[in-house]
Amino acid sequence: MSASTRIRAVKGMHDVLPQAMARWKRVEALFRDLAERHGYAEIRTPLVEPTSLFVRSIGESTDIVGKEMYSFVDKGEDSLTLRPEGTASAVRAYIEHEIHAQEAVTKWYYIGPMFRRERPARGRYRQFWQAGIECFGDPGPYSDAEAIALLVEVLRAIGLSELEVVVNSIGSRSSKERYRQALVEFLKPHKEALSLESQRRLETNPLRILDSKDPKDQAICKNAPAILDFLSEQDRAHFESLCELLARLGIESRVDPHLVRGLDYYSRTLFEVRGKGGELGAQNALAGGGRYDELVEALGGPPTPAIGFAMGIERILLACENTQEGPSLDVWVATPDPSLLPCVLELLTLLRRDGIRADADLRGTSLRSQLRRAQKKGVPFVLLLGPEEEAKSTFRLKDMEGHSEEEIPQSALFFELKRRLPKRSPSAL
């Protein structure tokens, strides 16, 4: 390589430049705040783990383990892998630190980069960020509904309202096995008509054929037996309760018996949230998750039911590209009399100390020009303080959207403002 050859970022891996950071930080802050309000605590695990952790949890026959991992042998001859997802590491940490002996239910969240050597496309990268949760020790179905509700709450808080929540149950191990056999029986006579990839999967991981994007495979799978017909009575009761709970929480969901997702460790509940609008194109899965009741035990811990989800931050930002950012200020303070500017400054300090985003034009310009600036910034409320209001210890509160105005006592200012301002999460304040 000549000295002048420019070194570029690795294909599929991207810089996030400072001008994009505000949007990233907003998504992270909203997720953090809502996760913590739901009782989750943050965990940070290493980016690098023993390769065997992912082989044993995600499964040898999955795309991630089979084709996409960044694995290498380090100088100590250990096979290591850049983590392709967060659940396996969380489970490893849960077992390693014997968390099960400390508390009955553990709720963790994480935010961080993941690595998969996929074919890069819009919304699909080789380094991408996930924000996710893991809840250990609760068999559900209430915790399943709570996890899905948290995910929907986060996406809505971010400003994504056009969402589709898709749910399925693949049952516990015995149901899954019975279904696997039935599916193979059904697919075998169609083997020649399947895509080459699916023909291979028929031997290694037949459930994934349901997930195939190939139109030939999709046409065959349309008539495949539905996994929901193979659930045990307990699995079915679990899934029915979950669907009822979601409806009760006002979360519209669609049952898709072909939703299987790409990781082997799932059992019972599976879910995915897809975005409808924005710039997503084919990569419209914003987040996904499910129950993994057998994984902790499979990795050497005690039997521990668990559920989790992960959302892709880049995809969420792409989905938000066309959504309107809310106003960056809550209140604009204006006065027709420059001698009142000290009061204005004092008021701004109090408002800001109370978490209200407030600003004013402190140059002593005309009231008209101050109001024009407020309008241009899209500020929802203007507080007017003139000599008359000052004498009466009041303010005039101007609602810029409703075009109304009312007089409020200074003592009731904070109460009146908070009552009117849309609720924002504390971390976004």
The binding site for ligand AMP (CB under 6 A) comprises 85, 116, 118, 123-125, 128, 130, 262, 285-288, 310-312, 314-315
The total of other beta-carbon atoms located within 10 Å of residue 132's CB is 26
- In whole angstroms, what is the distance from residue 299 CA to residue 225 CA? 31
Nearer to ligand AMP, 262 or 278 (CB): 262
Residues in the chain: 429
Placement of tokens 């940070």 in the chain: 44
The total of other beta-carbon atoms located within 10 Å of residue 61's CB is 15
- Select the residue whose beta carbon is closest to ligand AMP and give its number: 312
Least distance from ligand AMP to the Cβ atom of residue 289, Å:
7
Q: Which of 233, 174, 172, 177 is nearest to 206 (CA)?
A: 177
Least distance from ligand AMP to the Cβ atom of residue 287, Å:
5
Nearer to ligand AMP, 260 or 287 (CB): 287
Nearer to ligand AMP, 110 or 125 (CB): 125
Q: Please say whether the beta carbons of 169 and 235 come within 8 A.
A: yes
Least distance from ligand AMP to the Cβ atom of residue 260, Å:
11
Least distance from ligand AMP to the Cβ atom of residue 51, Å:
18
Least distance from ligand AMP to the Cβ atom of residue 171, Å:
19
Backbone angles phi, psi at 12, to 5 degrees: 85, 5
Nearer to ligand AMP, 33 or 85 (CB): 85
The angle at the Cα of 124, spanning 258 to 218, to the nearest 5 degrees, equals 25
- In whole angstroms, what is the distance from residue 82 CA to residue 126 CA? 11
Least distance from ligand AMP to the Cβ atom of residue 201, Å:
17
Least distance from ligand AMP to the Cβ atom of residue 311, Å:
6
String of DSSP letters for 53-104? HHHHHH-TTSHIIIII-EEEE-TTS-EEEE-S-SHHHHHHHHHHTTGGGT-S
Backbone angles phi, psi at 267, to 5 degrees: -145, 155
Nearer to ligand AMP, 211 or 361 (CB): 211
Nearer to ligand AMP, 317 or 347 (CB): 317
Nearer to ligand AMP, 113 or 327 (CB): 113
